[in-house]
Chains A and B, each alone.
Chain A
Amino acid sequence: LETTLSPQAEVFEALQQLHMTVFSQSVSPCGKFLAAGNNYGQIAIFSLSAALSSEAKEESKKPMVTFHAHDGPVYSMVSTDRHLLSAGDGEVKGWLWAEILKKGCKELWRRQPPYRTSLEVPEINALLLIPKENSLILAGGDCQLHSMDLETGTFTRALRGHTDYIHCLALRERSPEVLSGGEDGAVRLWDLRTAKEVQTIEVYKHEECSRPHNGRWIGCLATDSDWMVCGGGPALTLWHLRSSTPTTVFPIRAPQKHVTFYQDLILSAGQGCYVNHWQLSGELKAQVPGSSPGLLSLSLNQQPAAPECKVLTAAGNSCRVDVFTNLGYRAFSLSF
């Protein structure tokens, strides 16, 4: 059912698609759907199972439903076993996955962390789920990490220490500790039980990885308990956390905006259209081109309920979300 738009509206829509940036992605708990959030505040829900099936047509690569979620860009999304949480313009909203495919879906709840002044509404750049505590960590423009209890919706702690806004969060499951990286160039480790900063790594101070011409900002962070990989202004580097030593610097000039550990590899993406596959030794195993000129987020669908939808999806400075069925090549792209 296509409603015919006036030529002006068509042009507007085309322009919108051209200037779209997809900032965040999240896989549904059943593993069959993918949510993507863009800079216009919209969230689109794609059916991965339909797009991956053998009878997929061009319409299967379009969203099943697109709705207006936030007034500003949707910078970050995570999924619990029943809800989709989205954040961007200073508020975090919760949506029910079971209801989200219905038209006119409304948010279940919306919360705003206690900001220091009522005037500032800093953006929320990163969300992190702490399953053991059933809480959510939010971090962004006000340089603090706020933790919110998911059952009651109350904000329990505010972790202060960063001197500039925070870009990314990661969870170190064994301790449990939260790692945060930000514009001030430091990766800080916080112990959740004592709500204190237990370790600070000032990445830009280390000669091996600092790149002053790019700045000191930490754009992406991932951790594998004893190890941490981070990048951004400084080079993408692998760190041994306990000794705070950088062990491997990955030789790529472009600042990386998303990084994750996967099996025995590290996957990273950023400026440039490639998804880079690294071995821990620093060797580049593969560089797979995507369809966007720059990538901002990677998502690996490892939900056990849908092994047939186990894909890597990458999105960034375009209206498309690339789907890699076998990590080695781009199978096709979903599009807003």
Chain B
Amino acid sequence: TGLSDHEVIRKRLLIDGDGAGDDRRINLLVKSFIKWCNSGSQEEGYSQYQRMLSTLSQCEFSMGKTLLVYDMNLREMENYEKIYKEIECSIAGAHEKIAECKKQILQAKRIRKNRQEYDALAKVIQHHPDRHETLKELEALGKELEHLSHIKESVEDKLELRRKQFHVLLSTIHELQQTLENDEKLSEVEDAQETIMEADPKP
């Protein structure tokens, strides 16, 4: 009996869900039908009949409203299902986009790193002078070096020649000096011999 009570309450709540008193109206209809059957005069019966008709139409109106609401609820459920699915799809799409963007960020970071490494090396290279310039300078210096060494050679040759000539001159002078000295010595000896012979003539 407890169970059937529960069922009864459940059914009554279901039937009279919106609390507009439809249940009460149907009960009233039953009562007014009996009253109409038991009505005395024509007038009374007619007014009772009208009252019953209006109650019936109220019931019909309320039922129609409930059916429309039911339809509306069904359609709204469908609509919500659709929106729910759409949102799920866009969430999945957003997840994919995020993963894609993360990959792009990593790629961009790699590119940035490479650019910065390039810049760092380029800065160092800029400090060093241009290779062409340096080569030109090297060439010019080389030529100058050659030229100067030629000059040096010719000057040395000149010096050598002069040295030799001086050497010849000096040795000739020396020889002449020696010859003159020898001649003097010879003439001195001759003079000495002459005086001895004069002083001591042979008998």
Contacts and interface: CB of A to CB of B under 8 A. Distances in A.
B116 A240 contact: no
Count chain B CB atoms within 10 A of each CB in A243, A279, A280 and give the residue with the most.
A280
Nearest to A263: B109
A285 to B, nearest CB: 11
A264 B113 contact: yes
A279 B116 contact: yes
B20 interface: no
A281 B110 contact: no
Contacts, number: 32
Interface stretch (B27-35, B74-82, B120-128, B179-187): B120-128
A247 B120 contact: yes
Interface in A212-238: 226-227, 238
A240 B121 contact: yes
A247 B109 contact: no
A87 B123 CA distance: 41
Contact of B124 (A226, A240, A264, A279): A240
A19 to B, nearest CB: 40
Contacts of A227: 117
B116 to A, nearest CB: 4
A245 interface: yes
B106 A281 contact: no
Contacts of B112: 264, 279
B119 interface: yes
Interface in B118-142: 119-121, 123-124
A247 B124 contact: yes
A80 interface: no
A250 to B, nearest CB: 12
Which secondary structure dominates chain B's binding surface?
helix
A313 B113 CA distance: 23
A275 B121 CA distance: 26
B96 to A, nearest CB: 17
Contacts of B121: 240, 247
Nearest to B109: A264
B124 A280 contact: no
Contacts of A238: 120
Interface in B87-128: 106, 109-110, 112-113, 116-117, 119-121, 123-124
A248 interface: yes
Contact of A245 (B113, B116, B124): B124
Nearest to A247: B120
A264 B113 CA distance: 5
B120 A280 contact: yes
B188 to A, nearest CB: 83
Nearest to B119: A281
B24 to A, nearest CB: 54
Interface string A67-111: 000000000000000000000000000000000000000000000
A248 B122 CA distance: 11
Contacts of A248: 120
Contacts of A279: 112, 116
Contacts of B123: 247
A243 B124 CA distance: 11
Contacts of A281: 116, 119-120
A243 B116 CA distance: 17
B124 A263 contact: no
A280 B109 CA distance: 11
A280 B117 contact: yes
A238 B113 CA distance: 13
Contacts of A226: 117
Chain B CB within 10 A, most for which of A240, A247, A264: A264
Nearest to B106: A263
A28 B52 CA distance: 85
Contacts of B109: 263-264
Interface of A: 226-227, 238, 240, 243, 245, 247-248, 263-264, 279-281
Given A263-B110, A264-B116, 11 more contacts: A226-B117, A240-B121, A240-B124, A247-B120, A247-B124, A248-B120, A264-B109, A279-B112, A280-B117, A281-B119, A281-B120
Interface of B: 106, 109-110, 112-113, 116-117, 119-121, 123-124
- By Cβ-Cβ distance, the 8 closest A-B pairs, closest first, are A280-B116, A247-B120, A264-B113, A264-B109, A263-B109, A264-B112, A281-B116, A248-B120
26 contacts: A226-B117, A227-B117, A238-B120, A240-B120, A240-B121, A240-B124, A243-B124, A245-B124, A247-B120, A247-B121, A248-B120, A263-B106, A263-B109, A263-B110, A263-B113, A264-B109, A264-B112, A264-B116, A279-B112, A280-B113, A280-B116, A280-B117, A280-B119, A280-B120, A281-B116, A281-B120
